[in-house]
């Protein structure tokens, strides 16, 4: 696995469907079908990329990497879908989501519990620690490090893509 492979996984994540990636949708398709997750489409994550696209890329990349390294890809795909589950635009200034970078993993855990009824410890830890090292406590599980990596890779790629688009507009 090299940088090119990671880039290809990211590019592929933008076009996945139950037909092309049935196994991923077996793992996380029920979550992606909920109104709560679908509603994330209305929020800008990075410029032209909405949050639904972002969480789908992060979940898919985490899933592929976990499969590759024989880790728990089911839990990771699902935690990836819910890692940024909060219902506001983080670009807007609002007292309720002050210090967004530090606090939104906690909001996402709460919302994931509401969405699923309950979540297991590993899922909770993956979501709660995904902003490491901005938040100082690292993830407890290898799968959590994978989601941290995928989140940063996807966010950086989204920002670079938006920057390039702006230049050519
Ligand atoms: Fe996040
Ligand atoms: Fe994220």
Please give the distance, rounded to the nearest whole angstrom, from the Cα atom of residue 113 to the centre of ligand 2: 18
CATH number of the domain at 145, please: 1.10.3210
**Ligand closest to CA 101:** 1
pTM (predicted TM-score): 0.95
- Residue ranges near ligand 2 (ion) with Cβ within 5 Å: 84, 151
Q: Which domain holds residue 42?
A: 3-168
Q: Which ligand is nearest to the CA of 80?
A: 2
- Residues in Cβ contact with 142 at an 8 Å cutoff, skipping those fewer than 6 apart: 69, 71
Cα–Cα distance measured from residue 163 to residue 169, given in angstroms and rounded to the nearest whole number = 10
What DSSP element (H or E) covers 132? none
Per-residue pLDDT of the chain (169 residues; tens, 9 = 90+): 888 999 999 999 999 999 999 999 999 999 999 999 999 999 988 878 899 999 999 999 999 999 999 999 999 999 999 999 999 988 887 777 788 999 999 999 999 999 999 999 999 999 999 999 999 999 999 999 999 999 999 999 999 887 887 777 6
- What is the distance in A from the centroid of ligand 1 to the CA of 68? 24
Split into its structural domains, the chain has a count of 1
Neighbours of ion ligand 1 (CB under 5 A): 84
The number of residues in the chain equals 169
């Amino acid at each position: 696995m090299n940088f090119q492979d990671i880039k290809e996984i990211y590019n592929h994540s933008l076009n996945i469907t139950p037909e092309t990636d049935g196994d991923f949708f077996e793992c996380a398709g029920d979550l992606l079908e909920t109104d709560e997750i679908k509603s994330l489409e209305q929020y800008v994550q990075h410029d032209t990329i909405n949050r639904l696209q972002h969480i789908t890329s992060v979940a898919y990349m985490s899933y592929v990497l976990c499969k590759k390294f024989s880790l728990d890809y089911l839990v990771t795909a699902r935690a990836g879908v819910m890692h940024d589950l909060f219902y506001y635009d983080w670009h807007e200034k609002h007292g309720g989501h002050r210090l967004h970078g530090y606090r939104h993993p906690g909001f996402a855990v709460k919302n994931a519990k509401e969405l699923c009824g309950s979540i297991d410890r590993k899922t909770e830890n993956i979501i709660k620690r995904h902003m490491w090292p901005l938040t100082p406590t690292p993830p407890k599980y290898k799968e959590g490090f994978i989601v941290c990596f995928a989140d940063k890779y996807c966010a950086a790629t989204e920002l670079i893509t938006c920057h390039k688009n702006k230049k050519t507009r």
